[in-house]
Amino acid sequence: MSEQGYFFICVNGDTAHNNPAETDCYVRNEPPQWPETFFNYADLCLSRGFIRIGWPGTGDLRQFEQIPLRTRCYGSFKPRVRRYLDEFRRIPQRSIVLMPDKERPGVIYIGETTSAYAHSPELPIECAHRIRVKWDRRNGCFATYSATGLQISIQHGFWKYAFQNLSRCKDRGLTRRIDAARRHRE
């Protein structure tokens, strides 16, 4: 990918991907830190200006071809998870990302990527796969958008998945609706 794109990325989920008790998915020499259950990283992503995706046990995605050699868990990933990781690492700068807040159904944050993919060893390790983002703001606060207003179903389709390249979405009008909604940001 070399052109700007549109991506839907969930930042919440179960966090067993770097649990040392799960030996198939644990990468040695990376410090474990994970909550006991489901965790929503939306506030952290907003406050620190990045978007993240899970599966930190794979290690640095810039060395994507080496992942199956470093961790046995990669072989157990469904093909769509492998695609998520590969596409996430290739998101170009100036792309638009939509981040739902799963604790507030239908609420979406939107921003523009300001860097290429980076692997960050700083804690929490669950946020090791990162891309810097300038989040939209209104009146000094992070702007929220409505899934309903963007005509996105939160019951079906890509809303149920961790990652979606919206540039390839069947709904050709979606990217135009996103652009129109963003015209009213600061």
Domain boundaries along the sequence of the chain: 6-182
Tokens of 2: 């070399």
- Give the model's pLDDT for residue 138: 92
Neighbour count for residue 21 (Cβ, 10 Å): 8
The CB-side HSE value for 20 (13 A sphere, CA atoms) comes to 6
- Give the model's pLDDT for residue 26: 47
- Give the model's pLDDT for residue 20: 47
In this prediction the pTM is 0.84
- Residue ranges with strand state E in the chain: 6-9, 12-13, 39-40, 50-53, 96-100, 107-113, 118-119, 129-135, 137-138, 141-142, 145-146, 163-165
Preceding peptide of 92 cis, ω within 30°: no
Tokens of 151: 């005509």
Residue 100 and residue 5: Cα distance in Å, rounded?
17
Identify whether the C-beta of residue 165 lies closer than 8 Å to the C-beta of residue 154.
no
DSSP state of 91: P
Going from the first residue of the chain to its last (186 residues), give the mean pLDDT of each consecutive group of 10, the final group possibly shorter: 81 58 50 54 92 84 76 75 92 96 91 95 78 95 95 87 88 91 78
